[in-house]
């Protein structure tokens, strides 16, 4: 097949292997979800069914890609963290991003009816884009996750205040937008409390913190590592790697709404970024 007179066209392809010893983040994001929310009447500011569907799709993606050590999701996005030593797809960026985005899209569409039984999917079907970013140090990877979680918080406190002003406070969208211009988090906390009797800190964790998905190994020794190292493994360590892969496939997958910015989560789960 490769040896025809046409085979030379392969040389036009660009290599896109990501550098070794970097944590690889594949972030997927729903295409045109602002429209999709309206089409299926998502509850504002947060539609719980839609978040549960995102999380259910992410669990299956984590299950099928054993080199994913953690996934973090909020709104219509999910970040899948591949171990720094993964050799999956020879670390080719386009293969990674497209495989994760399509696996996620397939799960999202196939599981849709379980979460929205009264609203059958209609074209245009939901799709997700995907991109890869490399982080050369654990510290920077943690800052990446903190960045996404801070984004979740900032958007959620804004949206919670905005939609209370509109739905309960009788303001128009433009009035609420205008009233919130230039406010900081403390102002929004105050508006929520004094006008709507809401203590923002009592809002559900899933809305304030987003969702983390990772493997849990119960009582056994926690492991990490990858299914195939970048350097070719010898026969003995190959069996070892196979064993580890099986163990990961058997591990239970945890879905949690937890703070990732402080040290507590990382101190209690040291194996995740080991
Ligand atoms: P793009 O294709 O560029 O990503 P988009 O319309 O998807 O365009 P985003 O920036 O990704 O733009 O924004 C996603 C939108 O979907 C936000 O407005 C967000 O509030 C909304 N959204 C996502 N999930 C939910 C949910 N569970 N409940 C309510 N709204 C949601
Ligand atoms: P990769 O994930 O690397 O792409 P792959 O197993 O998909 O691995 P391909 O090189 O893409 O490898 O090969 C696809 C395989 O599927 C081939 O063996 C091809 O013969 C088979 N295949 C694809 N479409 C059909 C079809 N319509 N009928 C029968 N066999 C098919
Ligand atoms: Mg093929
Ligand atoms: Mg976007
Ligand atoms: Mg989007
Ligand atoms: Mg988004
Ligand atoms: Mg193929």
Instruction: Quick: pLDDT tens for 43-81.
Output: 999 999 999 999 999 999 999 999 999 999 999 999 999
Average pLDDT over residues 83-110: 98
Q: Which residue has the higher pLDDT, 226 or 93?
A: 93
Within-domain flag for 167: no
Q: Is 84 near ligand 1, meaning CB less than 6 Å away?
A: no
Q: Name the residue of 76, 129, 210 whose CB sits within 8 Å of the most ligand 1 atoms, as the mutation to test its pocket.
A: 76
User: What residues have CB less than 8 Å from 38, skipping those under 6 apart?
Assistant: none
Whether 103 has a pLDDT exceeding 90, the answer reads yes
Cis preceding linkage at 107, omega within 30: no
User: Does residue 160 surpass a pLDDT of 80?
Assistant: yes
Counted domains in the chain: 1
Which backbone phi and psi does 150 adopt, to 5 degrees?
-65, -40
- Does residue 47 have its Cβ closer than 6 Å to ligand 1? yes
Answer yes or no: is 155 within a domain.
Answer: no
- Dist. CA 3 → ligand 4 center (Å): 42
ipTM: 0.96
pLDDT (tens digit per residue) in 164-198: 999 999 999 999 999 999 999 999 999 999 999 99
Beta bridge partners of 28: 78, 130
CB 213 within 8 A of CB 60: no
- pLDDT, position 148: 99
86 Cβ closer than 6 Å to some ligand 1 atom: no
Percentage of the chain modeled with pLDDT above 90: 90
Ligand 1 near 36 CB (within 6 A): no
Judged against a pLDDT cut of 60, whether residue 135 lies above it is answered with yes
Residue 91 counted as domain residue: yes
Ligand 2: distance of its center to the CA of 1 in Å? Answer: 13
**Residues in CB range of 49: below 8 A, 6 or more apart:** 115, 116
| pLDDT for residue 252 | 96
The packing angle between helices 173-180 and 138-167, to 10°, is 130
Q: Does the Cβ of 79 fall within 6 Å of ligand 1?
A: no
**Ligand 1 pocket residue status of 50, Cβ below 6 Å:** yes
User: Which is higher by pLDDT, 106 or 218?
Assistant: 106
| Residue whose CA lies nearest to ligand 1 atom number 8 | 32
189 belongs to a structural domain: no
pTM of the model: 0.94
Mean predicted confidence (pLDDT) in 237-251:
89
pLDDT score at 230: 45
Average pLDDT, stretch 127-136?
98
Report residue 179 as tokens.
């009233």
Ligand nearest the Cα of residue 95 is 2
Nearest CA to ligand 1 atom 30: 46
Is residue 67 situated within a structural domain? yes
- Contact (Cβ atoms closer than 8 angstroms) between residue 23 and residue 91: no
Is residue 42 within 6 Å of ligand 1 at its C-beta? yes
What's the whole-number mean pLDDT along residues 18-32? 98
pLDDT cut 70: percent of the chain above it: 93
pLDDT recorded at residue 237: 81
Answer whether residue 171 is part of any domain.
Answer: no
**Range of the structural domain that residue 211 is part of:** 7-150+205-268
State residue 241's pLDDT score: 86
Task: Look up the CATH number of the domain holding residue 22.
Answer: 3.30.70.3000
Q: Is residue 237 part of a domain?
A: yes
29 located within any domain: yes
Ligand nearest to the CA of 34: 1
Report CA(103)–ligand 7 centroid distance (Å).
14
Task: Give the residue with greater pLDDT, 106 vs 224.
Answer: 106
Mean confidence (pLDDT) of the chain: 95
């Amino acid at each position: 097949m490769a040896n025809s007179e046409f085979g030379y066209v392969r040389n036009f392809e660009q290599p896109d292997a990501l550098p070794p010893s970097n944590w690889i983040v594949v972030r997927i994001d729903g295409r045109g979800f602002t429209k999709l929310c309206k089409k299926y009447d998502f509850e504002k500011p947060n539609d719980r069914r839609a978040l549960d569907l995102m999380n259910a799709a992410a669990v299956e993606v984590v299950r099928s890609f054993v080199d994913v050590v953690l996934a973090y999701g909020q709104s219509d996005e999910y970040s899948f963290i591949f171990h720094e030593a993964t050799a999956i797809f020879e670390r080719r960026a386009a293969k990674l991003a497209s495989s994760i985005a399509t696996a996620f899209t397939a799960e999202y569409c196939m599981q849709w009816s379980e979460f929205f039984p009264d609203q059958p999917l209609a074209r245009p079907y939901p799709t997700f884009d995907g991109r890869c970013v490399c982080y050369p140090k654990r510290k920077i990877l943690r800052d990446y996750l903190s960045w996404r979680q801070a984004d979740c918080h900032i958007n959620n406190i804004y949206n919670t205040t905005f939609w209370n002003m509109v739905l309960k406070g009788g303001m128009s969208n433009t009035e609420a937008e205008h009233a919130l211009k230039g406010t900081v988090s403390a102002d929004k906390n105050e508006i929520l409390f004094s006008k709507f009797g809401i203590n923002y800190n009592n809002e559900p964790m899933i809305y304030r913190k987003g969702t983390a998905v990772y493997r849990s190994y119960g009582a056994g020794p926690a492991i990490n590592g990858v299914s195939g190292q970048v350097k070719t493994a010898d026969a003995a360590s190959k069996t070892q790697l196979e064993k580890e892969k099986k163990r990961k496939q058997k591990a239970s997958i945890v879905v949690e709404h937890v703070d990732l910015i402080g040290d507590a989560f990382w101190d209690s789960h040291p194996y995740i970024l080991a």
